Amino acid sequence: MHNIIRTILVTGASSGIGKVTTEKLLQQGHKVIGVSRNINRLSHDSDRFFGVEIDLSDLKKLPEQIKALEKHHSEIDAVIFSAGMGQFGSLEEFSYYQIELLLATNFTGQVFLAKGLISGLKQKSHSNLIFIGSEAALKGARKGTVYCASKFALRGFTQALREECSKNNVMVSLINPGMVKTTFFKPLSFEPGDASNQHLLAKDVADAVCYILNARPGIVIDEINLNPANKVVKTKNAIK
């Protein structure tokens, strides 16, 4: 392990995995640039935290916003891609707009951000791109056509980008969590079980992020799959 102070960009920094990861990174002394679609939800109290309002699903505005971000924070040497959304149902239940929004948020917007920052990251002596994927990237599931597609796409992207960056000291990693007990499930019709061995915590994913960031320079941690010991899915007062 090595203790180097980094400047880290975290997407989805206002809630869930992104928020907890941001808090942990600040506790470790890093400088964090937190991205959220609503800057008023960024409430981290630290002089090493800088909030930026960007909606990753708004692809038309994204290139200019990324350019401004890099101009003001050229010292960024790590990016944690933890923004995302969940929507589940049969393909027929999705509107065309819902398909577009889900893919833009979970995949295309993240590709845009990586593309905009990659040249600067290659100039650093050591940098990290850490993507938060999902167990849905490993196996297609019923009611998950569009969501699984977005996560499968992200996984393929990280595998190819890792090869592309292998000689440039840019370490590309993917973390695939199972069900994490966060507000992600608030609008959904299901959630993980309540027992401590039936869900992950955002802290578990944040710990994995820090493990990757603190790994010895020169090695890359390709992929980490995290799951609760006992997978339980709860639906509206019932367990299936």
Return the DSSP state at 107.
I
User: Residue 69: is its pLDDT beyond 80?
Assistant: yes
User: Residue 1: is its pLDDT beyond 80?
Assistant: no
Q: Which of 181, 182, 186, 183 is nearest to 232 (CA)?
A: 181
> Quick check: 170 and 6 in contact, CB under 8 A?
no
> Quick check: 175 and 224 in contact, CB under 8 A?
yes
Helix axis angle for 109-122 and 62-72, nearest 10°, is 30
Residue 183: per-residue pLDDT:
72
DSSP per position, 3-29? ----EEEEETTTSHHHHHHHHHHHHTT
Residue 231: per-residue pLDDT:
85
Q: Share the mean pLDDT of the chain.
A: 91
Task: Express each pLDDT in 90-113 by its tens digit.
Answer: 999 999 999 999 999 999 999 999
Q: Work out the angle at residue 180's Cα, subtended by the Cα atoms of residues 42 and 9, and round it to the nearest 5 degrees.
A: 35
User: Residue 48: is its pLDDT beyond 90?
Assistant: yes
Phi, psi of 118 (to 5 degrees): -65, -35
Residue 237: per-residue pLDDT:
56
pLDDT class for 236, splitting at 50, 70, 90? low
> Quick check: 34 and 106 in contact, CB under 8 A?
no
Residue 228, CA distances (Å) to 122, 158, 172, 196 in order:
36, 24, 24, 8
Residue 114, CA distances (Å) to 132, 154, 193, 232 in order:
13, 12, 34, 34
User: Residue 239: is its pLDDT beyond 50?
Assistant: no
Does residue 41 or residue 53 have the better pLDDT? Answer: 53
Does residue 184 or residue 66 have the better pLDDT? Answer: 66
pLDDT class for 240, splitting at 50, 70, 90? very low
Residue 217: per-residue pLDDT:
82
Q: What is the mean pLDDT of residues 229-238?
A: 75
Q: pTM of the prediction?
A: 0.92
Helix axis angle for 96-103 and 145-164, nearest 10°, is 30
Task: Express each pLDDT in 116-148 by its tens digit.
Answer: 999 999 999 999 999 999 999 999 988 999 999
Task: Express each pLDDT in 154-210 by its tens digit.
Answer: 999 999 999 999 889 999 999 999 888 877 777 777 776 788 888 889 999 999 999
Question: What kind of fold does domain 7-239 have according to CATH?
Answer: Rossmann fold (3.40.50)
